[in-house]
Every structure is written in C-alpha cells, then in structure tokens.
Amino acid sequence: MNVNVTANSPRESVITAVPMAAPLGAEIRGVDLSTPLTAASFAQILGVLHRRGVIFFRGQNLAPEQLAAFSACFGELDVHHMTEHVFPHLPQVRVLSNVKKDGRSIGITKGGMHWHSDLSYKPRPALVTLLYAVECPPQGADTQFADMYAAFDELPDEQRRRLQGLRAVHDRNYRYAALYPERPPLTPEQIAKVPPVEHPLVRIHPATGRPALFVAKDVVSQIVGMSQQESRALIDGLEAFATRPERIYSHKWQAGDVLVWDNRCTLHRATPYAPTHRRTLYRTQVKGEAPLPAVH
Ligand SMILES: O=C(O)CCC(=O)C(=O)O
Ligand SMILES: [Fe+2]
C-alpha cells in the first residue's frame, strides 16, 4: 500500500536510472525523497529495484520521519526485534552508529559483517531494507551486495534441478556468539522467541517470477534431510559461488545517500573501517512474506 504517494508533486523532475558496472545496483537520479512521490514516480523506482536488486539516491537530506515515509511506500514497516537504538517516538527507524555519547554507543555497532539476507531466520523475512547515511568514513565501511539470481542462474543445469526441491534451516543462534563476540550471548528467552525456521533453498521472487538462491553460510545451519557434513559442504560452496567478485556491487557511501535493497534476491554484508572514523546511518525495514518455493 503506497500511503505516501500523492498525485502530481510539482517538485519532481525527470527520473533516470544509471546501472552500476555489476549485475546488480543502480543509481536513481532526479528524485527528492523528502517530499511525497507521485504514484507514477514510485512505480518507476520500484521497477528499477526489481530489475537491479539494489538502488540508491545521492544527495538526500532526510529527517527520520521522511525516511520512514519513503520506506512505507514499499510496504508495512517493521519494528526490529532488537528495540535498543530506535527513535523513541519512531521505533520503525533504527540507528546504526559507532558514535558514543556519555560513554554509550548511540546506535548498533558492527552489525551484519557476514553475508546475510535480513531476518532470514524468521518465518517472514524482511522484504526490503533502507539505509540513509548521516555521516560516513572517507574509506572502508562499504556495504556489499551479491546477486542471488545470477548465483542460481549460473549453476550447472543438473545442480539447479537438484537444489530446487531442497529446504534449508535458518538459525539466528547458529553462529551468533562467533559473529558477535562483543555482545552478550542470546538468552534462552531470546532464543525461544526466534526459533530456527525452514525455507526453500531456491525462492521465487513474486514480482519478477525469477528464482534466486536463498542461503548464507553463517545463518543456514543445515539442509533438511542431509548429513551435517554434506550440508556444510553444500552451504559453504553455494555462498562462495554466490559471492564471487563478479557478482558483487560494493556501495561506497557518501553522506546523504539512501540505499534500498531487496532481500529476496540479494545477500549483503558490511565491511570494516578504521574505528577513528564516525559512521551513522538510519535504517528501516519492510515486512515480508514467507519465501515462495521454486517447486511445490
Ligand atoms: O552497516 C551496513 O553497512 C549494513 C548493515 C546491515 O546488514 C543492515 O543494516 O541490515
Ligand atoms: Fe543486514
């Protein structure tokens, strides 16, 4: 439901999309996201997202409310299960930051440095995620994206056929302690709240009809019906194949960027940067549906 779309906003100019030199990613120009979009403009933007998996807009100047309003064009906003570091009056917007105030970090620090698709360990994983850069380091801290359509399409025929019937167990707790050594381990209550979930290993994107691999080695603990050893070899091999350099778009942040990605056909990860630099982003997430299997 596009609640923020109005008719004929006079401030819009011609929208253009510039594809990146990678199988995914496009810059969209000619849009001011601080004002409501027309239905036609939003349809154009959504079309580019569906074709390219990741889109971004430079030079934006948004209050958290304006980021939330644009985000809500893509669907109903989620309030993340980790409710620390959200705006109290606007819990749909979360802060990612390494900046400290009174000895406490003002946002989530060091999140998502492993390849993943947001909330894949939930029955209804995130649909799209948006990040808005308030301040960012001059080098490092790129966000990288892998094209999971290409990862599936470029597998040998025989393997594609075999994978289409398989299901994978996504488990938030599987490597949590190893991924986040600086955080306290998940409590039994937190673990019980987000139990492991099975999803198809190959999912169909409902808007494009295209199959995409849906796997990440630090989140998927097992392939249903396979031994641990066989599962691990397959999962690790698929992630390595999917994240080869030729399938990656690496976003170099500038303050004022708004980046949108589709979790149904991409993986992403954050990359390191010098801790002496400040990095602050606002983040929203749109609720998704249960992944559609390629074979019923
Ligand atoms: O900080 C980043 O670059 C991305 C973090 C992440 O994985 C997310 O916001 O979902
Ligand atoms: Fe993420």
The answer to whether 53 and 127 are in contact (CB under 8 A) is no
pTM of the entire predicted model: 0.94
Q: Please tell me whether residue 54 adopts helix, strand or coil conformation.
A: strand
- Calculate how far, in angstroms, residue 271's C-alpha sits from the geometric centre of ligand 1: 9
Question: In a mutational test of the pocket of ligand 1, which residue from 56, 80, 268, 273 has the highest number of ligand atoms less than 8 Å from its CB?
Answer: 268
CA 52 from centre of chain: 14
For atom 8 of ligand 1, the residue with the nearest CA is: 112
Ligand 1 touching residue 137 (CB < 6 A):
no
Name 131's bridge partners: 259, 283
Question: In a mutational test of the pocket of ligand 1, which residue from 96, 120, 130, 267 has the highest number of ligand atoms less than 8 Å from its CB?
Answer: 96
The answer to whether 284 and 68 are in contact (CB under 8 A) is yes
Confidence label for 182 from pLDDT (cuts 50, 70 and 90): confident
User: Which ligand neighbours the alpha carbon of 96 most closely?
Assistant: 1
Taking residues 242-249, report their average pLDDT: 98
Host H or E run for residue 162: helix 157-163
Measured in residues, the chain has a length of: 296
Q: What is the dihedral of CA 274, 22, 60, 14, to 10 degrees?
A: 170
Q: What is the number of the ligand 1 atom nearest to the C-alpha of 112?
A: 7
The answer to whether 35 and 9 are in contact (CB under 8 A) is yes
The answer to whether 199 and 120 are in contact (CB under 8 A) is yes
For atom 2 of ligand 1, the residue with the nearest CA is: 270
Q: What is the pLDDT of residues 125-173, one digit of tens each?
A: 999 999 999 999 999 999 999 999 999 999 999 999 999 999 999 999 9
